[in-house]
Amino acid sequence: MGAKSVTIKLVSRFVQALLLVAVVAAIVLGYRAGGDGSLRPPDRRPALNPFRLESLGGEPWALADQRGSVVLLNFWATWCPPCRKETPDLVTLSHTYGMRGLRVAGITMDEEPASVVPAFVDRYRVPYPILLPDASFGLARSINSLPTTMLLDRQGRVARMYFGARSAEEIAPDVERLLSEK
Amino acid sequence: MENRRVQIAAQGLGLAAISYDSPAVLKAFADREHVGFPLLSDTDSKVIRSYGILNEGVEKGTFTYGIPHPGTYLLDAGGVVVAKYLFRRFGLAGEKREAVDAKYLKFSLAGGEGTLRPNQRVSLAVDIRLPRRMHVYAPGVTGYLPISLKLADSPAWTSDPVTFPAAKLMRLEAIHETVPVYEGRLQLLDTITLSGPQQIERLLDGERMLTVAGELRYQACDDRRCYVPETVPVKWKLKVLPFDRIRAPENLRRK
């Protein structure tokens, strides 16, 4: 490997890190500015860095593959009662809007997901993929409370963040609006 | 104590209890409860004070004034305290240390003040204060992450199991579950037994301080959300004096 390619790689990592910080900052600032209260207008939606994770069943799941769909990304854990409360609502949303272009994915924050998540998925009849964050998945490290849910528009931009458990009724109008966007 | 009186005697140990009650009260109690070992009367709490365990939380003038913080002391043949067992929060002597601002809670460390000697037992405590509406999970909970205190393994001490307070049962109506939790204030207590001088000496620093390190781990939730698990290092510094080799006078030594 030449010095030039090492430099390019380093610069690219630096840019990636900067982008991550920028996205997280934009999300947090958006939240503090009241962004949590309603859907953000398209020009104020930060794009999420592409990522690719393995799902519980072993299937890969890539954000890039969801382009064109509305995506609901739910950060959760089995040890989180509000997440348990919220899960049936996410299951409902997945069933209700799946055919119209909503894709729901759970990202588990459990430390040993293989031993606890399958029973949870069975119990709540979770139809959507549960993704397993790896060490390189910086977005998971920026999450400090659960559940945290990101609603992404068809371009993969963060249209709204939900902190704490939300009901299907609260999230559905936002999903409807994003589905109606081109 | 009464249930184990025979075993205690078989080990060559004497046994006595001290309280602030009058001899008449103690006699009645001993008769009623069939206590077969001496109950000593310390009506003016002189002995209690001399051990530094007078319960200062009791208001003067009330009938309970003069009671001690309960504890058990092991004395050698020379009348020197070689171990003490004070398992309650108030049994920990010494001033409160500064509270540490950890994520989602505050805590302070207590215990280990004063000087210690090899082979002594000492209780170390973590006093935790949770903000309003925040809770952590208690040991024995299933499916959630209970709070824990784990001291590092070291040749310098052996650690008893950590003592936890009684948990409160919290009903999580939305998910039809009842879970044991802690809210407000709680204390985790770990009593350790220091090793002998050979194991301890080489682990002391220049000022004869022994560092007892451990980890406090917890996962906190409020009524709306849960926070990611936290692991916080904790550390006590114990002053350990050289092993006391001075023996009791010849005529008092056990034959």
pLDDT tens for each residue of B227-255: 999 999 999 999 999 876 665 556 665 44
Query: Which pLDDT does position A1 carry in this prediction?
Result: 43
Query: Which pLDDT does position B85 carry in this prediction?
Result: 72
What CATH number is given to the structural domain containing B178? 2.60.40.1250
The reply to whether B64 falls in a domain is yes
Q: What is the CA radius of gyration of chain A?
A: 17
Residue A108 neighbours by CB under 8 Å, 6+ apart: A56, A76, A77, A78, A117, A130, A131, A132, A133
What is the distance between the alpha carbons of residues A81 and A126, in angstroms, rounded to a whole number?
Answer: 16
Are the beta carbons of B227 and A111 separated by less than 8 Å? no
Question: Searching chain B, which residue's CA lies closest to the CA of residue A145?
Answer: B227
**Contact list, B229 vs chain A (CB under 8 Å):** 111
Are the beta carbons of B225 and A109 separated by less than 8 Å? no
What is the distance between the alpha carbons of residues B234 and B246, in angstroms, rounded to a whole number?
Answer: 35
- Examine the pLDDT at B90 and tell me if it is beyond 50: no
Mean pLDDT of chain A: 87
**B124 CB-contact burial (10 Å; exposed 0-12 / middle 13-18 / buried 19+):** buried
The reply to whether B149 falls in a domain is yes
**Contact list, B175 vs chain A (CB under 8 Å):** 81, 84-85
Q: Are residues B92 and B12 in the same domain?
A: no
Which of B10, B36, B68 is at the close of a domain?
Answer: B68
Q: Are residues B34 and B120 in the same domain?
A: no
Q: Which domain holds residue B8?
A: 1-68
> Tokens 């008449």 map to which residue?
B24
The reply to whether B77 falls in a domain is no
**Contact list, A144 vs chain B (CB under 8 Å):** 103, 227-228
What is the distance between the alpha carbons of residues A91 and A84, in angstroms, rounded to a whole number?
Answer: 11
**Which domains are seen in chain A, by residue range?**
3-180 (3.40.30.10)
Around B151, how many Cα atoms within 13 Å sit in the side-chain half-sphere? Answer: 25
Of residues B103, B174, B228, nearest to A85 (C-beta): B174
Kindly state the average pLDDT of the residues B41-67: 80
What is the distance between the alpha carbons of residues A72 and A63, in angstroms, rounded to a whole number?
Answer: 11
Q: In this predicted model, what pLDDT tens digit does every residue of A75-86 receive, in sequence order?
A: 999 999 999 999
- Examine the pLDDT at A46 and tell me if it is beyond 60: yes
Domain count, chain B: 2
Are the beta carbons of A165 and B225 separated by less than 8 Å? yes
Buried b (16+ CB within 10 A) or exposed e, B185-221: ebbbbbbbebbebeebbeebeeeeebebebebbbbbb
The reply to whether B75 falls in a domain is no
Q: Give the predicted TM-score (pTM) of the model.
A: 0.69
- Examine the pLDDT at B91 and tell me if it is beyond 50: no
The minimum CA-CA distance between A56 and chain B, rounded to whole Å, is: 19
Q: How many residues appear in chain B?
A: 255
Q: Are residues B110 and B194 in the same domain?
A: yes
What is the distance between the alpha carbons of residues B225 and B220, in angstroms, rounded to a whole number?
Answer: 9
- Examine the pLDDT at A22 and tell me if it is beyond 60: no
Q: In this predicted model, what pLDDT tens digit does every residue of B165-196 receive, in sequence order?
A: 999 999 988 889 999 999 999 999 998 989 99
